[in-house]
Amino acid sequence: MSSTWRAIGLAFHTNPISQSLQALLACISETSRLDWAHEEDPEASFYATACGSYMPFMQTAMHCYVSLTENESTSLVDRLNTYRSNCNGVAGTNFSESQIWDIWSNGTQFLRDSHNVGEKVHSAPVLLSQDDIFATYNYYHYTFYNLSAAFNFNLVINGSVVVLVLFAIWARYTSCNTRFVRAVRSKLLVPAIFGTTHHTESRPFPFYKVLLPTRGDAVALAVFLSINAVIALYNFPVVSSNMDTKFYFLVRCVANRCGGLAFGLVPLTILLAGRNNPLLNLTGVPYSSFIFFHKWAARTMTLYAFTHSMLWTMFVVVRERMSFWYFFFNYEYWRWGTWATVAATALIFHSIHSIKAKQYEIFLTVHIIMALVFIAGCLKHCATFGWLGWIYLAVAFWAWDRAIRLWRLFFNFGGYRNAYARCISVQEELFQITVPHVESARFQFFPGCYGFLYFLGRSSFWQSHPFTLMKSKDNLEVIVKAKGGITRELYETLPQDGTKVPLRVAIEGPYGHEASLSSYDNALLIASGAGLPGPLSYLNKATDQMDETGNYTFVWIVPTEAFLATMQNEFSRISEKVRLQGAKRNIKIHVYVTRPQLNEEYADWWPQEIQVHKYKPDVEEIVSSFCKAATGTIGVVSCANPGLDDKIRHYVAGHILHHGSRIDYFDELQVW
C-alpha cells in the first residue's frame, strides 16, 4: 500500500533527485570543465565518463564526491558504495564493491592538485577546488529544491482553500450570534465590498465593466492571494558558481517554481467552475461566488504559467543565445508548453466581463475550445517533466461535472420533452415557458432552485441558459424577460395574443440551495420584476404550511399592472390558502406598482389579502421597519434587479449588528 501511495504522490511532481545524485551531478559538471586526454562518444550517456569509460575522469569525480559528502555520518566505504549505486542506476554499469574500492585506491595514488598542474590536458586524476564543487552542488541543490518545493507549496495553497471551505461550512450551520460575530458578519462578510456594488456593474474605466465581490468573498480572495504571494517569493537563495551567474541562476529557480505552482492550481480552477462542484452543497455559497473564485484561481495560475514561460524564453534567447523557434519546432515539450500558455492567457483576456456580457454564447463556445487546448498542452508538456497527477485530477473533475450534468439532464428530467411558450406581457416583453407533467420523484423541485434550459431545434441548441424555476401543480414554469440572444429569438416567434407555441426543451437541474426559512421566526421575501419565481416559491411553500408558526412578509415590486396581471392565477391560489381559518402563520403580501397605467384592462382583480400600492416603495424603510418590528430570528430572501438587490444586501447588513437575534441574508440573484 505504501508503494501505491508513493506512486500516486510522485505523479504530482517531477521525479525527485536524491542529494547523492545531486552531488554526482555537481562533481561531473566540475570535472568536465577540465580538458582531458579522452574523446567521449557523442552518443554516450552524460554519466558515462564518470562511471568508468575514462578512469582519470572517474577517479577525479569520485574524489570530488567523497569530499562533498564527507560531512555526513557515513563511512568512506558507504559513500563509495553510494557512488557505485548511482553509476549502476544512471549509467547501466555493474561495478562490485571491490572494484569501486580498487578504482578509488588507485586514483588516490596519482591525485594532483589542479592549481599545481602545468599541463592543460589531463590524463591523471585531479583534486578539484572545494569552493567550486560546493558552489556547483548548491547550484544543483537549489535548482531541484524549487521543483520539489513547488509540490509542497501546492499542498499549502490547496490546504488553505480547504481551511476556507471548512470556515464557510461552519459559518453556514452555526447559530452563534454574539456581538463580535454580528459585527464580523455585518461589516466584514455580508456587505458588498464598496457600498452597493455587487451585482451592479462597476466601471473603473469608461471602456471596462466589472462585477465586484462581497466583502466575505474579498476577504477569502485576499487570504488566497496573500498565501500565493508569500509562497511564490519565499526562500530564493542566490548562488554564484561556475555553472551560471547569480542572475540567471535566480531566473531558473523562479521559472521552475512558477511552473510547478501553475500545475497545482489547474484542478482547483476546473473544480470551481463546475456546476456540480461538491463544495456548493457543502458551503451553501452561491455559484456566482464560485465563478468569481474560479476567475481568480485561473488568473493566478496563468500568472505563474506566463512567468514560467517568459523566464525560460529569456534564458534560452538571452543567456544561451538560441532561437525560440528552434526550440519550438524541435522540442515537443516546448511547443506544447507554449500553446498551453497562449491558451491560458487568451482565456483570461477573453473572460473580461465586458466581452462576456455582450456575447455570452460566443464567449462560452470559445472558452471551452481554448480550455481544451490548454489541457492538451499541459498533458503533452508534463509528459516530459512529470506533474501529470495535477492534470489528471483536473480532467477527472471536468469529467465528473459533465457526467452529473448528463445525469441531471436525462435521468432527473428525462431528456428533451414537450413544452410550450406563450407571451404573457407585450408591454414588458415577458413570456412564460411551461413544461407539463414533470415527475417530482426524479426532478426534486425546491424553492429557489434554478435549471439550465436547452432548446432543441434552435441555432444554439447545444447551449444552456440558467433560469429560476417555479412549480404549479406538476408543471414546471419559467418566466423569461426577452433580452438578447436566444431569449430574444424565442420571444419574437411568439404571437402577442398569448397563443401557446410548442417547444422541445430539456432542463439540467435542479441547482441551488433552499433557504431554511421555516427555522426562522420571521421571513422577509423581496422580489422585483421577473425575479419573482424564487421568492414566490418560498411564499407558496409557506402558505402550504399555515398550521406552523412564523411571520412572513412578501414584497413584489413591478413596473406596471400588466406585469402584475400575469400572476393573477398564482396569487389567487395563494390568497385562498392565506384565507384559511385557524392559521398560526401570519402572512402579509405587498405589491408595489412603480409606474401605474390606470388602464381599465387591469382592473382591481386582486383579493383583499394582497395589498397593492401604486407608487415606488422605499426599500430601506421596508427592510428597516420589518427588522425593528420583528421579534426573534429573521431570514431575508431577495431576488431583484441588480441595483435593488445590492441595496437590500446593504440594508440587511446594517441591521445584522443591531438586531438582538440572528439575521441571515439569502441572495437568490446570480450574476456571473
**pLDDT of 589:** 93
State CA 94 to chain mean position distance.
50
**pLDDT of 406:** 94
Instruction: Determine the 3-state secondary structure of 584 from DSSP.
Output: coil
For the chain, the C-alpha Rg in angstroms (whole number) is 34
Exposed e or buried b per residue across 387-400, where buried means at least 16 C-beta atoms within 10 angstroms of its C-beta: bbbbbebbbebbeb
CATH number for 413-511: choose from 3.40.630.30, 3.30.230.70, 3.90.1200.10, 2.40.30.10. Answer: 2.40.30.10
**Could you give the CA distance from residue 432 to residue 499 in angstroms, rounded to a whole number?**
11
**pLDDT of 1:** 45
**pLDDT of 391:** 94
Half-sphere exposure of 512 (CA within 13 A, CB side): 25
Low-confidence ranges of the chain (pLDDT < 50): 1
What is the dotted CATH code of the domain comprising 517-667? 3.40.50.80
**Could you give the CA distance from residue 344 to residue 342 in angstroms, rounded to a whole number?**
6
**Could you give the CA distance from residue 431 to residue 297 in angstroms, rounded to a whole number?**
38
**Could you give the CA distance from residue 150 to residue 261 in angstroms, rounded to a whole number?**
6
- The torsion region of residue 295 among left (phi > 0), alpha (psi -120 to 50) and beta comes to alpha
- Contacts of residue 12, defined as CB under 8 A and 6 or more positions apart, other chains included, come to 151, 154, 387, 389, 390
**Can you give the residue ranges of every domain in the chain?**
13-128, 137-408, 413-511, 517-667
- In order of 52, 53, 55, 133, 452, the CA distances from 48 in angstroms are 6, 6, 11, 20, 62
Between 19-31 and 130-173, two packed helices, what is the crossing angle to 10 degrees?
150
Element spanning 225, H or E: helix 215-233
Nearest to 508 by CA among 458, 460, 442: 442
Q: Do domains 413-511 and 517-667 have the same CATH topology?
A: no
**pLDDT of 175:** 87
- Contacts of residue 64, defined as CB under 8 A and 6 or more positions apart, other chains included, come to 26, 27, 30, 31, 128, 133
